[in-house]
Amino acid sequence: VVDRLQEIISSAWGKSMHQWASDLFPICRSLTGEGVRETLRYFQKLLPGLVIHEVPSGTQAFDWTVPNEWNIREAWIEDSNGNRIVDFANHNLHVMGYSAPVNQVMELEELQEHLYSLPDQPDYIPYITSYYKERWGFCLTHRQRQQMKPGKYRVYIDSTLAPGYLNYGELVLPGQTKDEILLSTYVCHPSMANNELSGPVLACALAQWLQSDPRFVRRRHTYRILFLVETIGSIVFLSRGAEHLKRNLKAGFVLTCVGDDRDISFLPSRLGSTLADRVALNVLENHTERFTRYSFLDRGSDERQYCSPNMDLPVVSIMRSKYGEYPEYHTSGDDLSLITPDGLYGALRLHAAAISILEQNDIYRLTVMGEPQLGKRGLYPTISTKESGAIVRDMMNVIAYCDGRSDILQVAQHTDLSALRVVELMKPLIDAGLLEKVT
Amino acid sequence: VVDRLQEIISSAWGKSMHQWASDLFPICRSLTGEGVRETLRYFQKLLPGLVIHEVPSGTQAFDWTVPNEWNIREAWIEDSNGNRIVDFANHNLHVMGYSAPVNQVMELEELQEHLYSLPDQPDYIPYITSYYKERWGFCLTHRQRQQMKPGKYRVYIDSTLAPGYLNYGELVLPGQTKDEILLSTYVCHPSMANNELSGPVLACALAQWLQSDPRFVRRRHTYRILFLVETIGSIVFLSRGAEHLKRNLKAGFVLTCVGDDRDISFLPSRLGSTLADRVALNVLENHTERFTRYSFLDRGSDERQYCSPNMDLPVVSIMRSKYGEYPEYHTSGDDLSLITPDGLYGALRLHAAAISILEQNDIYRLTVMGEPQLGKRGLYPTISTKESGAIVRDMMNVIAYCDGRSDILQVAQHTDLSALRVVELMKPLIDAGLLEKVT
Amino acid sequence: VVDRLQEIISSAWGKSMHQWASDLFPICRSLTGEGVRETLRYFQKLLPGLVIHEVPSGTQAFDWTVPNEWNIREAWIEDSNGNRIVDFANHNLHVMGYSAPVNQVMELEELQEHLYSLPDQPDYIPYITSYYKERWGFCLTHRQRQQMKPGKYRVYIDSTLAPGYLNYGELVLPGQTKDEILLSTYVCHPSMANNELSGPVLACALAQWLQSDPRFVRRRHTYRILFLVETIGSIVFLSRGAEHLKRNLKAGFVLTCVGDDRDISFLPSRLGSTLADRVALNVLENHTERFTRYSFLDRGSDERQYCSPNMDLPVVSIMRSKYGEYPEYHTSGDDLSLITPDGLYGALRLHAAAISILEQNDIYRLTVMGEPQLGKRGLYPTISTKESGAIVRDMMNVIAYCDGRSDILQVAQHTDLSALRVVELMKPLIDAGLLEKVT
């Protein structure tokens, strides 16, 4: 059962996603600035309909204000011999995100207050930001830091923090109805791979697949695919589109941390019983060997906004190793070697399965009284084996719960089957006129 | 507690049931034909009000058509020396049910395609039928089959497959209301004992008991007792009576596999929360040492029709070793030695308990405010022992849940008591005017 | 978390409660009589508003009748040498409660029928009563009883059993609304400590605290504090006040067995889901190391009346070692050494926590869309530590469930927090205008 998902979506996508991540890895992204725009333009080439929005600094969005735009050109620390011992050119994690400009000579002791390293992970550069309080700082490996000798150092950051724009990308794929599926990801993290280039490349793959797969030409749902920056980006988006989503959103997924090949993780919606929860759980229970089930109390990405109490949207997260739960999280260890084509494909196919089910999640009713006679319609397997017995049993079980009230996900739950298997078993029954859709 | 059921129904019924099964064992029953009618006439002698219905071949019933009637007189395989090596006269399982006539000489190799045996159970003859595709075949022990040497064999089946009738027996015991209890069993299996003579003899015993026990002269419910043939029989019956059942049926039981003395099994209704489920579970939880709880997905008898999604009737099954779950199932090993008077009585008393509870399952309310003073009414046990303390505690607990909303089964669930014990504890309280029925 | 309750109520109350219990211990209480009145007058001095009601013998109360008043002055057994071998003057448990007067000489054999002792606890005098059947009797240690030699004994009980009054104390502390909290305890047990002086002294402490703590000057609820006698007392009270309670009672607590320092116990209401259950469980789950959760079927005090099916009031019991569950129960072993200031204070603070929560258990809603920005309001902890991270996480979780529908106890359940912690976390958010009360 686990493997059947390759019929829905090809594993070839794994390599494409990893290639996109590799292309995007070096760019220095942040909440705002050129790195975000460069990233969005990259996706725009892959997704021609993608619209890049810009929102001026200072714009109010609910309880928040769009911050100034941050750009950085150069940053380093030189020792008294003119050796550049830390250089932004080598790794863009070396500078604290949103660092103010600085150009100073100071003693190591004073400099220490502006240095960030990880004593327990001495080979990783930490990822540190200070979006809402003006500071400057450098991040480095603990090993580097320990080698720094007392003396004078020149610190230089050539950055600007000035009115500009917050950007985000939005792609709308119209469906036959106004009912919406939301795919939301974010592009504000600099050179890290699982968190977070895996989410954007998954969003891109899903968007291309939805447009290319003949099964989705006549799709029921409208798909809204968002490339935001975390927190302020989703707040800005919601401040413009919350009422529309409240009216139309059927299910949404925050795409984040979907690239490694270790764990599979689930984060439910606020109350845990929306359509998004139901479809995700059916997919995870039937198409993974195992997964870790988190509580909404463990949330940490944009579901914080989508599921805030005055929104309460049906949004969940299917992840690989969840943010905060793997050792390389928010360090330079979260690099391109951590994510794999297989890991990315593993997440892709779970999301594709969820989408495929949502497109078909109707309510059916049996058109005859009592059990139908399958034999006269040639619906019994022609050869009788142990497996064929199981097929007949599953088919009769599906029939038993097509009661005109239960949607396919509920039928799947009653019958202990994957919803995709239910759909497959129902097909010949629908063709034979034994099941009909309730509208 | 387990043993108290003998007060409801005597263990003497065990021997009667086993005797009836012994009388009926040799008859060659099938979906249709003389064997079914002979069996029904046998029960008609024991249950004078039993009506034997006949439905012509070709009659439409929902999605099904009544098949031709099958009768068989003689069938055997002779080797080239004229030895009858397989003979229907020795065991009526030797012929595949609904076998077309044949009279041919053929090589063993060709004959093999018409032979059925069980390599893993080499001493048992399997039970095989082909109701809806015309075939012929012989069933034999694997040991017999292995002794057959290459060469020519004469195969002879003197059967007829022709328009006739499908028969079923129906006994209605009118009650004071139109509310119905259904007892449904089937008589289409040839010489096998647990599956299936145990069900019909249990139905017969319950019907005799309901008519003879003075406690049921003024019974509340109308009882409908059906001796059908499996699947097509219940479909035919429902095609004539479904609307009536949908309006009036309160609880129903499919009586099948109730004769051995190994397991006790429970098969719930489709959604698992009907009155039939509630009463069965209260009986099983309180009057058995242990029982196996199956899922509706494990169903396999006429609850498939009663609980089909457009019927959704409150029908469950209380069994001993469930069909498909014991080694002798659908073989000649399921003979009269497999069922015992004790095994049959064990099932009888569980059904009698369920019926007894259903007849009394009213809603009561306490007539006083606060707790009643039992002492002044002599309702405290006259001698104070550990046991009497438990009686008072149980009585006060029953009072605490007689709230004018909970039926006796719900009071039993709240108080962790058997519903029969609740009834017993309520009796003196009703007599004292402390509890009154809510109508 | 366990220890935070000292902020609600001071541990100094433990000593006061133990002192009151010591003062009251020698008094011979029973269902009626001078001992009850003396006890009530003691509490009246501590609680000036306490009203002592009197209800004449013979008064009907629901299904019960107020019994005659019992008073006793002297009681003893003398052997033939004039030695007083059992004397009420030494311990008032020596006389069976409600003993009729007697003055007789009799052989030991005849006397034995009137003696009560505990072979398994040979050093304890049992507590025995015969309220509703006229008897006389003496209770003694089994060791004393075994030393009694055959011969003549004089038995003397100078008691009166005659029309008089049943008394109870009632203190009403009016609040800003008619919504009521009930604290009910009983004063009918002679010289025993956990069961039952602990309950009355706890009721007294809570009543003093409610009147003295500045946080409760403007209390929302009206508090009704009852010093009853068990069963007949609560029935008499309810026969006068049930309709009022049915309309206004929000939560009630039977205060009993709250003085030792062994177990903590919980007895739920009849259906187990009232506000009283919810607040008690939140307190016990968050402010005890462990507690024993009993079923309503284990009840034994005045919740029997409050939760009787025609009352169905929201009343529960938070206890230390529950009646019937500790070895000294209903014997002279339940003396002042069994209860401790710490044990009493342990129960006091759990009840004070429950009251404190009930006073604040409102429904709040978040006033902004999306998550609020805590930083700009200075609501982030100024120093970032592991602990401060937990505080922010808890605060955001509380915000996530302030949805305008969940009361504070429900928010606490969703967030796995103590309700008191939820209140604490909400305070700055309310002050900042981020949360507002739903009315």
What is the overall mean pLDDT for chain C?
A: 96
Q: Which two tokens stand for residue B293?
A: 């709880």
Instruction: Give C 307-366 residues with CB within 8 A of chain B.
Output: 307-312
**A-B contacts (CB, under 8 Å):** 61
For chain B, which ranges sit under pLDDT 70? 1-3, 381-386
- Percent of chain A scoring above 70 in pLDDT: 98
- What is the per-residue burial (b if ≥16 Cβ within 10 Å, else e) of A265-300? bbbbbbeeebbbbbbbbbbbbbbbeebeebebbbbb
B64, B133, B309: residue with CB nearest A403? B309
DSSP helix/strand/coil, C368? coil
Give the Cα separation of A187 and A383 in Å (integer). Answer: 54
- Residue range C255-312, pLDDT digits in tens: 999 999 999 999 999 999 999 999 999 999 999 999 999 999 999 999 999 999 999 9
Residue A194 has pLDDT above 60, yes or no: yes
Partners of A365 on chain B (C-beta within 8 Å) are 309-310
Q: Which of A371, A395, A402 to mutate to test the interface with B (most CBs of B within 10 A)?
A: A371
> Do residues B372 and B380 lie in contact, with contact meaning Cβ atoms separated by under 8 Å?
no
Give the contacts of B209 (CB within 8 A, at least 6 positions apart). Answer: B9, B13, B216, B352
C366, C373, C393: residue with CB nearest A310? C366
* Better pLDDT: A437 or A217: A437
Give the Cα separation of B192 and B26 in Å (integer). Answer: 9
DSSP helix/strand/coil, B418? coil
* Strands, E assignment, C93-164: 102-107, 115-116, 138-139, 152-162
Give the Cα separation of C305 and C235 in Å (integer). Answer: 7
* Strands, E assignment, C93-145: 102-107, 115-116, 138-139
Most distant pair of Cα atoms in chain B: their distance: 92
Residue A1 has pLDDT above 70, yes or no: no
Question: Using the beta-carbon criterion (under 8 Å), do C369 and A297 form an inter-chain contact?
Answer: no
- Percent of chain C scoring above 90 in pLDDT: 93
For chain C, state the CA radius of gyration. 25
Question: Using the beta-carbon criterion (under 8 Å), do C305 and B371 form an inter-chain contact?
Answer: yes
ipTM score of the complex? Answer: 0.93
Give the Cα separation of C276 and C250 in Å (integer). Answer: 7
Confidence of residue A383 (pLDDT cuts 50, 70, 90): low
Strand pairing class (C292-293; B222-228):
unpaired
Question: Using the beta-carbon criterion (under 8 Å), do C368 and A297 form an inter-chain contact?
Answer: no
- What is the per-residue burial (b if ≥16 Cβ within 10 Å, else e) of A51-60? ebbebebeee
Q: Which of B65, B120, B297, B303 to mutate to test the interface with A (most CBs of A within 10 A)?
A: B297
Which helix H or strand E contains A181, and what residues bound it?
Answer: strand A180-186
B305 touches chain A (CB under 8 A): yes
A243 touches chain C (CB under 8 A): no
Instruction: Give A 389-428 residues with CB within 8 A of chain B.
Output: 393, 396-397, 399-404, 415-416
Q: B52-66, C131-145, C219-233, C369-383: which range is least confident on average? A: C369-383
A133 touches chain B (CB under 8 A): no
Question: Using the beta-carbon criterion (under 8 Å), do B238 and A403 form an inter-chain contact?
Answer: no
Partners of B400 on chain C (C-beta within 8 Å) are 270, 296, 304, 307-309
* Chain A nearest CA to B297, separation (Å): 6
Q: Which residue has the tokens 């009721």?
A: C203
* Chain A nearest CA to C198, separation (Å): 41
Strand pairing class (A222-228; A180-186):
parallel
- Residue range C395-423, pLDDT digits in tens: 999 999 999 999 999 999 999 999 999 99
> Do residues A202 and A351 lie in contact, with contact meaning Cβ atoms separated by under 8 Å?
yes
DSSP helix/strand/coil, B233? helix
Which helix H or strand E contains C324, and what residues bound it?
Answer: none
Residue type, B9: I
Question: Using the beta-carbon criterion (under 8 Å), do B375 and C310 form an inter-chain contact?
Answer: no
Chains adjacent to B (≥3 CB pairs closer than 8 angstroms): A, C
- Percent of chain A scoring above 90 in pLDDT: 93
Partners of C372 on chain A (C-beta within 8 Å) are 63
Residue C206 has pLDDT above 90, yes or no: yes
Partners of C401 on chain A (C-beta within 8 Å) are 270, 309
Instruction: Give B 357-376 residues with CB within 8 A of chain C.
Output: 365-366, 368-373, 375-376
Give the contacts of B243 (CB within 8 A, at least 6 positions apart). Answer: none
Q: A212-221, A376-385, B100-109, B207-216: which range is least confident on average? A: A376-385
Residue A381: half-sphere exposure toward Cβ, Cα within 13 Å:
15
User: Looking at residue B1, what is its pLDDT?
Assistant: 47
> Do residues A195 and A334 lie in contact, with contact meaning Cβ atoms separated by under 8 Å?
yes
Partners of B396 on chain C (C-beta within 8 Å) are 304
- Residue range C6-46, pLDDT digits in tens: 788 999 999 999 999 999 999 999 999 999 999 999 999 99
For residue A4, count other CB atoms closer than 10 A to its CB: 15
Give the contacts of B69 (CB within 8 A, at least 6 positions apart). Answer: B32, B33, B57, B160, B161, B162, B163, B164, B165, B166
Residue type, A210: L
Residue C1 has pLDDT above 60, yes or no: no
Residue A2 has pLDDT above 60, yes or no: no
Q: Which of B365, B366, B373 to mutate to test the interface with C (most CBs of C within 10 A)?
A: B373
CA dihedral C358, C362, C363, C369 (to 10 degrees): -130
A63, A132, A296: residue with CB nearest C370? A63
Give the Cα separation of B151 and A108 in Å (integer). Answer: 103
Question: Using the beta-carbon criterion (under 8 Å), do A63 and C400 form an inter-chain contact?
Answer: no
> Do residues A406 and A348 lie in contact, with contact meaning Cβ atoms separated by under 8 Å?
no
Question: Using the beta-carbon criterion (under 8 Å), do A310 and C403 form an inter-chain contact?
Answer: yes
Locate the chain B residue with the closest alpha carbon to C305: B370
Give the Cα separation of A129 and B172 in Å (integer). Answer: 81
A370, A403, A404: residue with CB nearest B305? A370
Partners of B376 on chain C (C-beta within 8 Å) are 132
Partners of C416 on chain A (C-beta within 8 Å) are 297
Residue type, A379: L
Question: Using the beta-carbon criterion (under 8 Å), do C62 and B416 form an inter-chain contact?
Answer: no
Q: Which of C308, C311, C315, C330 to mutate to test the interface with B (most CBs of B within 10 A)?
A: C308
User: Looking at residue B387, what is its pLDDT?
Assistant: 75
Please choose, from the candidates B144, B42, B132, the residue with its C-alpha nearest in 3D space to the C-alpha of residue B90. B144
> Do residues A168 and A228 lie in contact, with contact meaning Cβ atoms separated by under 8 Å?
yes
Residue B120: half-sphere exposure toward Cβ, Cα within 13 Å:
3
User: Looking at residue C388, what is its pLDDT?
Assistant: 76
Give the contacts of A169 (CB within 8 A, at least 6 positions apart). Answer: A40, A43, A44, A50, A51, A52, A53, A187, A226, A227
User: Looking at residue C3, what is its pLDDT?
Assistant: 57
Q: Which residue has the tokens 């003196």?
A: B428
> Do residues C187 and C41 lie in contact, with contact meaning Cβ atoms separated by under 8 Å?
no
Question: Using the beta-carbon criterion (under 8 Å), do B63 and A373 form an inter-chain contact?
Answer: yes
Strand pairing class (C315-319; C265-267):
antiparallel
> Do residues A221 and C352 lie in contact, with contact meaning Cβ atoms separated by under 8 Å?
no
Residues facing C365 on adjacent strands: C403, C436
Please choose, from the candidates A312, A201, A193, A315, the residue with its C-alpha nearest in 3D space to the C-alpha of residue A261. A193
- What A172-175 contacts at long range (C-beta under 8 Å, 24+ apart), as own/partner pairs, is A172/A49, A172/A222, A172/A223, A172/A224, A172/A225, A173/A49, A173/A207, A173/A210, A173/A211, A173/A219, A173/A222, A173/A223, A173/A224, A173/A225, A174/A222, A175/A219, A175/A220, A175/A221, A175/A222, A175/A223
Q: Which of B371, B380, B436 to mutate to test the interface with C (most CBs of C within 10 A)?
A: B371
Residue A302 has pLDDT above 70, yes or no: yes
- Global confidence as pTM: 0.94
Q: Which two tokens stand for residue B403?
A: 């709230």
Which helix H or strand E contains B26, and what residues bound it?
Answer: none
Question: Using the beta-carbon criterion (under 8 Å), do A308 and C401 form an inter-chain contact?
Answer: no
* Chain C nearest CA to A349, separation (Å): 30
- Percent of chain C scoring above 70 in pLDDT: 98
- Residue range A130-175, pLDDT digits in tens: 988 899 999 999 999 999 999 999 999 999 999 999 999 999 999 9
- Provide the 8-state DSSP code for C33: S
Q: Which of A240, A269, A304, A310 to mutate to test the interface with C (most CBs of C within 10 A)?
A: A310
Partners of C304 on chain B (C-beta within 8 Å) are 371, 396, 400
